[in-house]
């Protein structure tokens, strides 16, 4: 068994990608100022965190059902600085390829680990800094950008550490490319460092880490990839009065909100079983209403003229 000293070799039991040598102490001391909604969620993640890709269905549902009660603030955690710390059996990117294939099957979310054989990343810092640059323009566009680069690395086997791929993603979601480049090379680096510092103060040791905070200093913490109920319970503990928002579960409405969906996401959001969800998506593809992108470990569907998530 491979020693778990590589942050990209996530623990399938805990649903966690851990930072090497990180503290296990969790201290939720983040100040919550001027809350516009009852609950603020600090979400520590990383563009190449496979366990974070695994909770996309749950997070998307949480936004639909409790979006009027929560604001999710995305923070970058710095999963892979470089390969210099590795020792023992893990010393190069190719060691991760097979594990990502296993993670894909475990979470039922499409991931092609061959990116680590064909065009491996040296670090997750460049895409993390790029996300901060996107955030400087628009929070929702930044979320769309993060989704885009995740689809690039997990499904398209593209190295999102390369500027040309980051720039292509930025253009696709509608960011101002000139400002994006200036911010990427400038202030975004300092903002990323601020995320890392706060993460250390909070005791973040892996991803996904979600801190649910209210205005009275109360905190709920969900660590690792968990079922939807864990995230819902965290909301209800802090805001017992919270009521689920009803949302349309038909395919048109779901793809209008989230222009790309995996079968796991579609099943979670529509309330269908997995087999039924896949059948519906198959029929819509045959009818020419959706386009299916297939990988060796699953598929992604999109509307033919889909705009990015807003």
Alpha-carbon distance of 170 to 136, in angstroms, equals 13
pLDDT tens-digit readout, 53-85: 999 999 999 999 999 999 999 999 999 998 875
Residue 26, helix vs strand vs coil: coil
Residue 73 neighbours by CB distance under 10 Å: 15
Give pairs for 84-92: CB < 8 Å, separation 24+: 85/20, 85/21, 86/5, 86/6, 87/5, 88/3, 88/5, 89/2, 89/3, 90/2, 90/3, 90/5, 90/6, 90/9
Tokens describing residue 175:
């960011």
pLDDT at 210: 98
Q: What pLDDT is recorded for position 259? A: 95
- Residues forming beta bridges with residue 299, ordered by sequence position: 294
Give the pLDDT score at 132.
98
Query: Which residues, in sequence order, are CB contacts of 115 under 8 Å at separation 6+?
Result: 97, 100, 121, 153, 154, 157, 158, 159
- Counts of helices then strands in the chain (DSSP H, E): 13, 9
CATH (residue range 17-207): 3.40.30.10
User: What does the pLDDT read at residue 21?
Assistant: 59
- Separation in Å, CA 216 to CA 36, 75, 203, 238: 14, 22, 20, 10
Cα–Cα nearest to 95, from 4, 161, 225, 19: 4
Nearest of 123, 107, 119 to residue 51 by alpha carbon: 107
pLDDT of residue 220: 98
Sign of the dihedral through C-alpha 247, 249, 253, 258: positive
Q: What are the structural domain ranges in the chain?
A: 17-207, 251-303
Nearest 10 degrees: Cα torsion 265, 266, 272, 278: -110
Q: Give ∠ CA 46-187-182 in degrees, rounded to 5.
A: 100
The contacts of residue 121 (CB under 8 Å, 6+ apart) are 48, 80, 93, 115, 153, 159, 160, 161
CA angle 56, 109, 145 (to 5 degrees): 45
| Residue 154 CB partners (closer than 8 Å, separation 6+) | 50, 53, 109, 110, 111, 112, 115
**Of 44, 136, 141, 126, the residue nearest 80 (C-alpha):** 126
In the numeric block, the tokens 């033919």 are attached to 304
- Beta carbons of 187 and 153 less than 8 angstroms apart: no
Under-50 pLDDT residues of the chain: 1-4, 24, 27, 29-30, 87-89, 306-310
Q: Tell me how far apart the alpha carbons of residues 238 and 214 are, in angstroms, rounded to a whole number.
A: 7
Q: What pLDDT sits at residue 3?
A: 43
Please state, in angstroms and rounded to a whole number, the distance separating the CA atoms of residues 17 and 51: 6
The CATH number of domain 251-303, selected from 2.40.128.20, 1.10.10.10, 3.40.50.2000, 3.30.70.270: 1.10.10.10
């Amino acid at each position: 068994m491979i020693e778990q000293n590589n942050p990209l070799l996530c623990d399938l039991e805990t649903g966690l990608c851990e930072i090497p040598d990180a503290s296990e102490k969790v201290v939720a001391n983040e100040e919550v100022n001027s809350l516009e909604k009852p609950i603020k969620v600090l979400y520590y993640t990383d563009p190449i965190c496979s366990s974070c890709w695994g909770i996309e269905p749950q997070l998307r549902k949480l936004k639909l059902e409790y979006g009027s009660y929560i604001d999710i603030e995305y923070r970058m955690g710095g999963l892979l600085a470089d390969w210099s710390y590795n020792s023992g059996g893990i010393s190069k990117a190719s060691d991760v390829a097979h594990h990502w294939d296993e993670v894909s099957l475990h979470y039922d979310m499409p991931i092609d680990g061959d990116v680590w054989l064909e065009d491996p990343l040296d670090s997750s810092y460049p895409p993390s800094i790029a996300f901060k640059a996107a955030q400087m323009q628009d929070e929702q566009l930044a979320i769309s950008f993060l989704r885009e680069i995740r689809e690039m690395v997990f499904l398209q086997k593209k190295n999102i550490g390369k500027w040309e791929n980051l720039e292509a993603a930025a253009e696709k979601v509608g960011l101002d490319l000139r400002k994006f480049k200036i911010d990427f090379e400038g202030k975004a680096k300092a903002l990323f460092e601020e995320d890392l510092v706060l993460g250390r103060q909070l005791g973040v040791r892996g991803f996904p880490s979600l801190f649910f905070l209210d205005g009275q200093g109360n905190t709920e913490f969900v660590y690792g990839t968990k079922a939807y109920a864990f995230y819902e319970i965290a909301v209800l503990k802090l805001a017992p009065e919270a009521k689920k928002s009803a949302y349309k579960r038909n395919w048109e409405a779901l793809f209008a909100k989230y222009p790309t969906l995996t079968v796991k996401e579609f099943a979670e959001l529509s309330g269908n079983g997995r087999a039924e969800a896949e059948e519906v998506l198959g029929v819509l593809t045959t009818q020419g209403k959706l386009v299916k992108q297939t990988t060796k470990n699953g598929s992604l569907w999109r509307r033919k003229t889909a705009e990015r998530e807003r």
